[in-house]
Amino acid sequence: MSYATWQVADASHGTNLSQPSDLSSRDYPKALQDQVSIQVQKGSLRDNVERAAQENNWEVIWHADDQYSVLTESTFSGPDFSTVMGQLLSHYHLKASFDDNNCVMTVSAIHKKESTRHARHRASMHKIAKH
């Protein structure tokens, strides 16, 4: 994640702007920083999910029948494990439920009918938000 920050050098003398020279992630509040980062490698999605879960002290229950492949290496980052996994699985027809108390993630397929229903719901919510 990149940040661009500008500050007014001297607000009483016009609009002279300067860019801070040494601004790093430690200068931002912890709440705004990513806490979990997962490296996804080429190969089996299930292997990647199980590896990432193990690295973050989570257990995975895999209820998806299909095999999913990761075709390119990438990194997913976010404030917590469930958010990052949600980002990753959103690229597939998969969903996850999380038991935070026991650190158990259950992965299952999104059936076409369910996916269509969710898409219609999102579209109707978008229409409501526009009015």
Q: What is the pTM of this model?
A: 0.61
Is residue 43 in some structural domain?
yes
Rounded CA separation 7/75 (Å): 31
Buried b (16+ CB within 10 A) or exposed e, 79-103: eebbbbbbebbeebbbbbebeeeee
Say what the pLDDT of residue 1 is: 45
Residues of the chain with pLDDT under 70: 1-34, 112-131
Paired tokens of 45? 């999605």
> Is 103 a domain residue?
yes
What's the CATH number where 47 sits? Answer: 3.55.50.30
Which pLDDT value is given to residue 124?
52
Of 25, 107, 13, 99, which Cα lies nearest the Cα of 60? 107
In a domain, 21, yes or no: no
Q: Is residue 26, in this structure, part of any structural domain at all?
A: no
Residue 106 lies in a domain: yes
pLDDT at 98: 97
Tokens read off for 85: 């996994």
Total domains in the chain come to 1
Q: What is the per-residue pLDDT for 66?
A: 87
Tell me whether residue 61 is in a domain. Answer: yes
Question: Which residues neighbour 5 within 8 Å (Cβ) at sequence distance 6 or greater?
Answer: 19, 20, 23
Task: Please report the pLDDT score of residue 8 as a whole number.
Answer: 42
Give the helix/strand (H/E) hosting 18: strand 17-18
Domain hosting residue 43, numbered range: 34-130
Domain membership of residue 111 (yes or no) is yes
